[in-house]
Amino acid sequence: MLAKRIIPCLDVRDGVVVKGIGFKQHRVIGDILTLAEYYSAAGADELVFYDITASAENRTVSTQWVEKVAAKLSIPFCVAGGIRDVKSAQNILRSGADKVSINTPALHNPDLIGKIADLFGRQCVVVGVDSMRDDHGQYWVWQATGSEKTASQTRRKTLQWISELESLGAGEIVLNCMNSDGQKTGYDIAQLTAARAISRLPLIASGGAGSYEDFIQLFSQVNVDGALAASVFHQKTCQIAQLKEMLIAKNIAIRPVDH
Amino acid sequence: MIALIDVVGSNVGSLEHALFRLGYHKDRDYYFARSGESLTGASHVILVGVGSAHQAMRALNNHGLTEAITKLTVPVLGICVGMQIMYEFSWETKGLQGAESLEHSPVSCLAIFPGSVKKLAVPNHLSLPHSGWNQLEQNHHFQGNIRPFKQFDSTYVYFVHSYGAPVGGNEVIFYVDYGVKIPALVCCRNFYGTQFHPEKSAQIGSQMLQEFLKLC
């Protein structure tokens, strides 16, 4: 069976890996290549590099580090951040990334998803969705969440947007649940379940992982294709090898760590 | 020297990186073959396919490679679409998405393996493309020499594709299960094909490439 993917996310800013809390304060965690190789060896199934300043500050991710990562890594990786047109997607993919993830630009220009898919295949096109629950329990898409200054709620309802993505040409969805992001209180099972019910696209859960148990709960309760997490790995609260052993023990389809 | 056939698309970067990690260098250990004649003397040939079978075959035909490939007697490895075009026909006639309704007849391919490559008929709850890590399962009906690849039974390798080779053929060494069986590693005589991407399949993939390059 197709394995559930464990995906460390490396938030990149100014050429280093950082981690923010609720997308706000950022602190430096380490060097991109060093961490990429570390996670690949540790058993990650895929990596996501998210240039969190790119979208907000109108900056396109540099492709140099993408080339270096591509030369080193023998697992797939995705680059997100600042990909606002076909040209920038092409630069990233030609530099060796397997996928690009688009978020805010897809909201303003949904046709961009299909344009990239037509050229490179829909498997290359991930749409990132940042979603926040309001006081009435309604989920809304947020945009430009790379910085507190620019982050704002859009008029799009999360589930409506997700239901449109397959026909727009997307190949995968990363649903980041902002209420739980950085809280380490577990994935937003309710929201992910609702999203799963309305789209057949591969769905990656993001936001909220704080313990081994959170991953077990996620995969036991929702048919997501993967779990993305950052600080729980960066702070070594969870080791990927041990996490995978625990998931395998629960009969969840997981690629064991190579030895 | 290893000959890489890259006439289809241009995205052989990840294979080149994988070869480099194994210690193979461009010009010293491998080169790009862009004509039938340039295959002469190659010790191994790797056929990398990006895009559709239609695009791949058109490119091979334009470069005079089609017949030259079928006559090869050295080990040949087709990866992904490179494997699919080793079958007789492929229904992947157009580009990437939304093209199905435009299909009229399949593309004639290299016909090293029998049968047609078709769109995967996966159950409704599973998405296409089949994308991610899946587990190899040995086909016990395979009659050939499995020895170099036996060690990879039950390992996970990386897939990204929407079309698949026919099920039930004698050439299948490993299947994977994605609601339907999908041929993952195939072999007939000196021809090998992987539906998955060994160059993106971590240590296991590197070992497989190394096993292929040890064949003679």
pTM (predicted TM-score)? 0.92
Residues of chain B with pLDDT under 50: 96-101
pLDDT, one tens digit per residue, over B106-161 is: 999 999 999 999 999 999 888 888 999 999 999 999 988 888 999 999 999 999 99
A99 touches chain B (CB under 8 A): no
**Of residues A72, A118, A200, nearest to B95 (C-beta):** A118
**Of residues A2, A40, A120, nearest to B132 (C-beta):** A2
B92 in Cβ contact with B57 (< 8 Å): no
pLDDT, one tens digit per residue, over A166-176 is: 999 999 999 99
Residue type, B55: Q
Contacts of A240 in chain B (CB under 8 A): none
User: Is residue A20 scored above 90 in pLDDT?
Assistant: no
Determine whether A118 is an active site residue. Answer: no
* A164 Cα distance to chain centroid: 19
For residue B148 the two structure tokens come to: 């170099």
What CA–CA distance (Å, rounded) separates A187 from A181? 8
Residues in B lying within 8 Å of A, measured between beta carbons:
10-11, 13-14, 17-18, 20-21, 95-97, 124-127, 129-135, 156, 158, 160, 177-178, 199-206
Contacts of A118 in chain B (CB under 8 A): 95-97
- Paired residues of B161 in beta bridges: B130
- Which of B57, B81, B77 is closest to B67 using CA atoms? B57
**Of residues A1, A93, A201, nearest to B127 (C-beta):** A201
User: For residue A245, is it left (φ>0), alpha (ψ between -120 and 50) or beta?
Assistant: alpha
What CA–CA distance (Å, rounded) separates A13 from A240? 24
Dihedral angle at the C-alpha atoms of A132, A133, A135, A138, nearest 10 degrees?
120
pLDDT, chain A, mean: 90
H/E run at residue B138: strand B137-138
Contacts of A255 in chain B (CB under 8 A): 133, 135, 156
What CA–CA distance (Å, rounded) separates B87 from A189? 44
User: Is residue A28 scored above 70 in pLDDT?
Assistant: yes
Residue type, B214: K
What CA–CA distance (Å, rounded) separates B13 from A96? 6
Amino acid A149: pLDDT: 82
Contacts of A72 in chain B (CB under 8 A): 17
A258 touches chain B (CB under 8 A): yes
User: Is residue A21 scored above 60 in pLDDT?
Assistant: no
Determine whether B197 is an active site residue. Answer: yes
Amino acid A22: pLDDT: 53
- Which of A19, A70, A25, A78 is closest to A49 using CA atoms? A78
pLDDT, one tens digit per residue, over A126-162 is: 999 999 999 999 999 999 887 778 889 999 999 999 9
Could A1 and B125 be called an inter-chain contact, meaning their C-beta atoms sit closer than 8 Å?
Answer: no
Could B135 and A74 be called an inter-chain contact, meaning their C-beta atoms sit closer than 8 Å?
Answer: no
